[in-house]
Amino acid sequence: MTFEEIVRYRRSVRKYDPDKEIDAEKVKRCIELATLAPASSNMQLWEFYHITSPEILQELTKACLNQSAARTAKQMVVFVTRRDLFRKRARSILDFEIGNIERNSPPERQANRIKNRKLYYGYLMPFFYGRFFGLLGLFRKLLSFFIGLFRPITRKVTENDVRVVVHKTCGLAAQTFMLAMANEGFDTCPMEGLDSRLAKKALRLPHGAEINMIISCGVRLPEGIWGERYRVPFGDVYREV
């Protein structure tokens, strides 16, 4: 399929064919492609849980309120945000970037670029993602306000703002996964109406992890598509400036 055909083929499927299995290795490959989605500052504060166990599928079906998209799914993928891993991710990116610069940058520019990366991932990212009962976010908000009096600056810096950033980034990965699955001829349904406490318990997730969404996977039945696709008229949402 062309890219346009893939986008148009993808639908939220509410009922899957019980007689058609899907290849777990192909699903895994689609998850791998999802890791190539854009990530804010490349922090990649996400994890992907590929569920093939019948027991865990049953537990997650309960967490997904027993909706048919979960009940008939052959596999599921749980997209999880890991804001709590920001220090580990920042260190990993910094280590990579130092080598990346040494391999690919002109020698005369390497020292300055490495210095900038150390400042960004060694200090700025830990400061941006750090949490302390909302107080650190409030301090960042005040700091951005005063700096913003003199020059443009990022203003969405509270702890809740950062949480939104992490979830948006994870959502980009989820969409990439669903398009990759459509390219394989598989179907998906993103589910956000769920009991996140039960889902976290089923996966034994740590306190700092959050469920972004659960995506069920399978091969559609005709009745799994709820009629024609509705979209708000393009003229109502498109603005050329």
pLDDT in tens, 54-78: 999 999 999 999 999 999 999 999 9
pTM for the model stands at 0.95
List the chain domain ranges. Answer: 3-83+161-220, 86-140
- Alpha-carbon torsion angle 195, 33, 154, 123, nearest 10: 100
Q: Where are the alpha helices (DSSP H) in the chain?
A: 3-9, 24-34, 54-63, 68-71, 86-104, 107-119, 125-129, 135-147, 159-183, 196-203, 234-237
CA–CA gap between residue 235 and residue 171 (Å, rounded):
25
CA–CA gap between residue 111 and residue 129 (Å, rounded):
26
Neighbouring CB atoms inside 10 A of 79's CB total 23
Q: 75 - beta bridge partners?
A: 217
pLDDT of residue 93: 98
End-to-end CA gap in the chain: 33
Q: Classify domain 3-83+161-220 by CATH number.
A: 3.40.109.10
pLDDT of residue 115: 98
Q: Please name the helix (run of DSSP H) or strand (run of DSSP E) that holds residue 76, with its range, or none.
A: strand 75-81
Q: Say if CB 138 and CB 161 are below 8 A apart.
A: no
Tell me which residue of 92, 120, 89 sits closest to 112, measured CA to CA.
120
pLDDT of residue 11: 97
pLDDT in tens, 79-114: 999 999 999 999 999 999 999 999 999 999 999 999
Q: Where are the alpha helices (DSSP H) in 120-158?
A: 125-129, 135-147
